[in-house]
A and B are shown apart, each in its own frame.
Chain A
Amino acid sequence: MVFLQAEMSWNVLISPTQLSPKGLLLRKAIIVRLLEDIANRKASKDHGYYIAVNELKAISEGKVRELTGDVLFPVTFTCITQKPMKGEILVGSVDKILKHGVFLKSGPIESIFMSEKTMNDYKYIGGENPMFMNAHSKLEKDTAVRFKVMGFRWMEADRQFQLLATLAGDYLGPL
């Protein structure tokens, strides 16, 4: 999983109640609001998951919104992000084991499916603690697995990515 530190811009909206005569509080209000906005946004199709805001680079002049009286501050900042890439090798942990495949989680990505068709020599073993087993290793809940990203899509409704994983390849599988 490769994390990127990217520079980006955002418009922070400050309501007039937060505008105090003391200029120092304004900067803090902008930072707090930015952190809240980014945390709520979670992820976007272009940038991927927003992990953490790093540094506030610049705050431009505020513009007053005529109708509401809020002030809009365009800001630029650096942010740590993570975006899945096709063909990338990732490490994740097993979340759920089903007959037709395995659900994995990896960092902020919660929805990764690996079909049993890509797990050629593994056999499904059901029961109270289901698992996939082959001659040398097994996959059960919480096992760390190295897999390749076959493809992914952005789900606007949930604001998250859904990944398709494969175990077909050299040096892939449980760690």
Chain B
Amino acid sequence: MSGEEEENAAELKIGEEFLKAKCLMNCEVAIILEHKYEQIQHMSDGDPASQVSQVFEKSLQYVKRFSRYKNPDAVRQVRETLSRYGLAEFELCTLGNLCPDTSGEAFALVPSLRSGGRFEGDAGNDKIEKMLNDLSLIKKFE
């Protein structure tokens, strides 16, 4: 039981189209899906829940439950902050979603961070810690 040959998110081997596609964090998707839900509510007279697919509903429930940031400005700031560290889209979103507390946790959850020589040694650890610090500040002042 496996995906395509050689596919492994831990090493960022996730297929070309996915490397190139734009990735969205839970909090970004929450804003988009909530907006769509409202649109459907305005367009139809009936109950919007009956107009959207199961996949949409479950995804909406999920992203609402597991978004760390609710305020759209905070969400924008999170993306801007993470974009400054030379991360692949997939890594950026995984970090923004899982919100690790320490650099150790970050490396454990996103092992591909170790590749490419971006975050090596103590300097690398410090960089990650600073990034995580910035993210928690955004949460504090949300």
Contacts and interface: CB of A to CB of B under 8 A. Distances in A.
Interface residues on A, range: 35 or more
Interface residues on B, range: 35 or more
A170 B36 CA distance: 37
A86 B8 contact: yes
Given A82-B59, A151-B3, A2 B94 contact: yes
Contacts, number: 117
Interface string B1-27: 111000111110010011001111110
Contacts of B56: 39, 51-52
B33 interface: yes
B29 interface: yes
A3 B23 contact: yes
B63 interface: yes
Q: Which of A1, A50, A105 has the most C-beta atoms of chain B within 10 angstroms of its own C-beta?
A: A1
B55 A87 contact: no
Nearest to B37: A52
Contact of B1 (A80, A89, A107, A164): A164
Interface in A139-157: 144, 146, 149, 151-153
Q: Which of B22, B55, B66 has the most C-beta atoms of chain A within 10 angstroms of its own C-beta?
A: B55
Nearest to B94: A2
Query: Which 5 pairs between the two chains have the least Cβ-Cβ distance?
Result: A87-B10, A85-B9, A107-B62, A39-B53, A88-B9
21 contacts: A2-B24, A2-B93, A2-B94, A3-B23, A3-B24, A3-B26, A3-B28, A4-B18, A42-B54, A49-B55, A80-B24, A84-B3, A86-B9, A87-B8, A91-B66, A107-B59, A110-B58, A153-B1, A162-B1, A170-B108, A171-B109
Interface of B: 1-3, 7-11, 14, 17-18, 21-26, 28-29, 32-33, 36, 52-56, 58-59, 62-63, 65-66, 90, 93-94, 97-98, 100, 104-105, 108-111
Given A108-B59, A171-B105, 15 more contacts: A1-B26, A1-B97, A2-B23, A3-B26, A3-B29, A4-B21, A4-B22, A39-B52, A80-B29, A82-B59, A85-B14, A85-B18, A86-B7, A86-B8, A146-B98
